[in-house]
Structure 1
Amino acid sequence: MSVLSILAKANGPLERVMPLLTPTAIIVGAICGSRLASLEGLVPWVFAVMTFIGSLKISFLDMLRVLRRPEKLVWLMVILHVLMPVVGWTAGRLFFPDDPYLVTGYVLLFVIPTGVVSVVWVTIYGGNLALTLALILVDTLLSPLVVPASLYVLMGSTVDIQAREMMKGLLWMVVIPSVIGMLLNQGTRGEVNRKWGPPLAPLVKVGLFVVVAINGSTIAHDLRHADARMALLVVVTFGTVILGYLVGWGVPALFRWNHQDAVAVQFNSGMRNLSAGAVIAVQYFPPAVSLPVISGMLFQQLLAAAFGYRVGRSERKRSGASAAA
């Protein structure tokens, strides 16, 4: 059996443990502490490779098809970059009014682009993959502008925002690897993803574990010496993250969108590229800013699994009712 086939077979088991992957990585980071923190310089490189691999499945044609009828894409962008950042800012101001760095962390938690891993959940539960891929593409390409601008609008001069450096980091960590991957997909008419996507997919999960563990090590002291304030932070993070999923469930229900669109909107509203957010927080801000982002990693995949279970149960009921009729 070849190395490529072994890697391809490893992807299934790794996908099944996805809900536990990031919480485990945070625990490993907290335990290892400074031993992992010394590897912080590797994180942007690992993340760039992860982004490149994830983008191999994205085609510019996916975006063009969705842009012909952009209503749902527009709604997702409004949820991701208007509604939820305001929710994060409000939660930070309400519960931590004396700590501008934590408020910034809650804003950052929701201004970063949607996560490529949402493709996995949307695929599992039969969602609109074209809408998801188009959103990832648009959100990724706009991130060097949207992330610094959103932070500046909501935080102003309260904290020092290294907008230019942040834009450069997002360009080479996210945009450039994504564009290269998408051009390869387009140029080979999807052959590069069919051949290399399955064996490279496990490396994304491993890379995610490494990135989260190293970033988690930077706040090891806070995690080891958790107090009532830290407990409140975790509770607030849980509440805001679950609200993202609830908004993603409520908007399609309000407009009576079909099952495929509803699934895509729900997962993409709830998920963020939190590993990218953690990299940005650690690279360009004081350690406190990373606390909401890294604590969000504890819940994002677990909540995706929980809402996925609800989606699956609703679809089974709907299918049963249709069969009975």
Structure 2
Amino acid sequence: MSTLLAWLQKHLVWSIPGAMVLGLAFGTVTDAGFLRAAILPLTLLMVYPMMVSLKFKALAARGHGRLHAVALVINFVLMPLVGWAAGRVFFPGQPALQLALLLTALLPTSGMTISWTGFARGNVPAAVKMTVIGLIAGALLAPLYLKLLMGAVVEIPMASVMAQIALIVFLPMALGWATQRWLVARHGAEAFDTHLKLRFPPWSTLGVLGIVFVSMALKAPDIGRDPAALLTLLWPLVVIYALNFGISTVVGRMLFARGDAIALVYGTVMRNLSIALAIAIGVFRAQGAEAALLIAMAYVVQVQAAAWYVRFTDRFFGAPVAATPQPFPR
């Protein structure tokens, strides 16, 4: 089972579309309404494992103040406005899809921020801290941004959004921290860092695939009536990610050395699509199922874009001076 989960995590560019196809087929041949009961368990399965491996102590690490300040401006000033404007331009009169684009723009960083920064030989400790800051700040600010930017076209149940974020972000975060502390106390920090924490992220991938499956199954009747609609969801995502990569690359080249610039790019482009999915489908019900379809497609665009960008980092920022990996902050 662990081998299969690891393969699915490594090959999201294939496993996500596979889950979409299976969900579409299932929803076509049967009434998938009963799958709504699986949303909350799948959501917790999706979020809790990634919290176990989160480096909470990174918040106390000193340094890189300007880097994190710039990342906060891009993540919580620029990109929310880009997501909101893109929704208005590409999906006029379609509030659920506008909501989906805004949700992806509101929730920066994920575990993949750290992974891709490492693959590109960037500043991994800075990426770790950026991930923790982005996760917490995004969860706190999301209800306010949704109300401010979408309140006129979508009913934003503030109490429900805040309760959902507490349930799917802060509760798993507390449980993940407790699990992490217990494992470190029982087995030691070295065993946790080198072995134990690696067991958890693949289970998060299983939750993601489950949510994608459910989203597609619930939307299968609508997709069956208009299959070409999937293509209309793809191009706005490509445009937004291309714009995000371009802005972060230019800012990184102008202001920072190679390692910090790479951390900035992946800390501002990689979106926490898992939490965006959970909020969409858990809070907004019928509209959330439509929004979740677009967010599911964002996984494919994000993984492909991140993988291709690694190949061009040396061209954008120059070759690394030293190839020695940087340790995670403890």
| Short-chain TM bin | 0.7 to 0.9
1:40 paired residue among 36, 45, 49: 36
| 1:86 paired residue number | 81
Give RMSD over aligned pairs: 2.8
Instruction: Give the distance between the partners of 1:211 and 1:149, measured in 2 at CA.
Output: 25
Structure 2 CA distance for partners of 1:223 and 1:200, relative to 1, 3 Å: same
SS of the residue corresponding to residue 318 of structure 1 reads coil
| CA displacement at 1:253 relative to structure 2 | 1.0
| CA displacement at 1:11 relative to structure 2 | 6.6
- Unaligned runs of 5+ residues in structure 2 are 324-330
1:180 and 2:182 aligned: no
For residues 139-159 of structure 1, the C-alpha deviation after alignment (integer angstroms, 9 at most, x for no partner) is 222334211111111123321
On the 8 A contact 1:59/1:186 being kept in 2, the answer is: no
- 1:60-79 matches, within 5 Å, as 60-66=56-62, 68-79=63-74
Instruction: Give the distance between the partners of 1:44 and 1:313, measured in 2 at CA.
Output: 43
Structure 2 CA distance for partners of 1:194 and 1:24, relative to 1, 3 Å: same
- Unaligned runs of 5+ residues in structure 1 are 1-5
Instruction: Give the distance between the partners of 1:314 and 1:13, measured in 2 at CA.
Output: 30
For residues 26-59 of structure 1, the C-alpha deviation after alignment (integer angstroms, 9 at most, x for no partner) is 2222222256653333233233233332223333
Instruction: Give the distance between the partners of 1:174 and 1:207, measured in 2 at CA.
Output: 14
| 2:210 paired residue number | 210
For residues 204-248 of structure 1, the C-alpha deviation after alignment (integer angstroms, 9 at most, x for no partner) is 222322222222322223433436655333211221122222222
For residues 233-291 of structure 1, the C-alpha deviation after alignment (integer angstroms, 9 at most, x for no partner) is 32112211222222222221121x22222222212222112122122112222143334
The one-letter code sitting in structure 2 at the alignment partner of 1:90 is A
With normalisation by structure 2, the TM-score equals 0.82
The one-letter code sitting in structure 2 at the alignment partner of 1:58 is L
Identical pairs, percent? 22
Instruction: Give the distance between the partners of 1:48 and 1:192, measured in 2 at CA.
Output: 22
Instruction: Give the distance between the partners of 1:281 and 1:231, measured in 2 at CA.
Output: 21
On the 8 A contact 1:50/1:203 being kept in 2, the answer is: yes
The one-letter code sitting in structure 1 at the alignment partner of 2:25 is I
The one-letter code sitting in structure 2 at the alignment partner of 1:264 is A
| 1:3 paired residue number | none
Instruction: Give the distance between the partners of 1:227 and 1:211, measured in 2 at CA.
Output: 20
| 2:98 paired residue number | 103
With normalisation by structure 1, the TM-score equals 0.84
1:53 paired residue among 49, 56, 70: 49
| 1:258 paired residue number | 257
SS of the residue corresponding to residue 158 of structure 1 reads coil
| 2:238 paired residue number | 238
| CA displacement at 1:166 relative to structure 2 | 1.4
1:118 paired residue among 94, 113, 127: 113
The one-letter code sitting in structure 2 at the alignment partner of 1:318 is A
| 2:12 paired residue number | 18
Instruction: Give the distance between the partners of 1:38 and 1:129, measured in 2 at CA.
Output: 43
Aligned residue pairs, count: 312
Instruction: Give the distance between the partners of 1:96 and 1:319, measured in 2 at CA.
Output: 42
| 2:267 paired residue number | 268
Instruction: Give the distance between the partners of 1:158 and 1:131, measured in 2 at CA.
Output: 38
